[in-house]
Amino acid sequence: MESYKEKARRADLAVEVYNYVYKNTESFDYDHIGTDLAYLLSAILKGVCIAASTRTPIVRLLKDGFPKEHAVWKHIELLT
């Protein structure tokens, strides 16, 4: 069974990612960033992974804000 600590860690990560995207975009409507963010946050909270192209706006935005060893990248399978 999954620990409370692990669930809390993922919730904290989801909040961190949401806050970064919110502060660094003018609109969640632009290039489906809001939709992609919703899928990503869901994956983080569930402890699973989404597949996303390295060319998508959400991935490009996250690359600007999070180093490759950051926990967010455990939840994104990068497609070329």
**Per-residue pLDDT tens over the stretch 13-41:** 999 999 999 999 999 998 899 999 999 99
**In the prediction, which pLDDT does 54 show?**
95
Tokens of 58: 């959400």
**Does residue 45 contact residue 39 with C-beta atoms inside 8 Å?**
no
In the chain, helix, strand, coil percent, each to 5?
65, 10, 25
Residue with tokens 């970064």, as numbered in its chain: 20
Task: Report the C-alpha dihedral over residues 48, 29, 53, 39, rounded to 10 degrees.
Answer: 10
**Does residue 79 contact residue 51 with C-beta atoms inside 8 Å?**
yes
pTM of the entire predicted model: 0.93
In the chain, where the domains are located: 4-79
